[in-house]
Copies of this chain bind each other. A is one copy, B any other.
Amino acid sequence: MLRHEDALALDRLIHEPARLAIMTVLSSVKSADFVFLHRATGLTKGNLSSHLTKLEEGGLVKIEKTFVLKRPNTNVALTRLGTRRIADHWARLERLKNLGETSADQV
């Protein structure tokens, strides 16, 4: 039987488009500050802020706030867990996609 439970097991924390963008950016740069993420993802600052908070709560990113040139600076990086989860997520999507491509007949 064709089983698509892969899709149902998709990680909702990561799957959300805004966070998928954030995680994908982070997986390519390893560390980025708030302003960079803001531009790279096109998210508003408000949404970026709250999505980052969620990702941090989920343990997928590590956030470090410092002051650079007297200005606040928020630095974000994937945690080890985050790195694993985003990779898993893409793998799962890939599997799901392939299921869709193998043409099968109903029952």
A50 within 8 A of B: no
Which range contains the number of A residues in contact with the other chain?
Answer: 35 or more
Q: How many copies does the complex hold?
A: 2
A interface residue numbers (CB < 8 A to B) = 1-8, 10, 12, 15, 17-18, 20-21, 23-25, 27-29, 31-33, 36, 39-43, 86, 90, 93, 96-97, 99-107
Q: Are B104's CB and A28's CB within 8 A?
A: yes
> How far does the Cβ of A71 sit from chain B's closest Cβ, in whole Å?
15
Chain A contact residues: helix, strand, loop or mixed: helix
B36 contacts A96, C-beta separation under 8 Å? no
In the complex, are the beta carbons of B90 and A24 less than 8 A apart? Answer: no
A20 touches B40 (CB 8 A): no
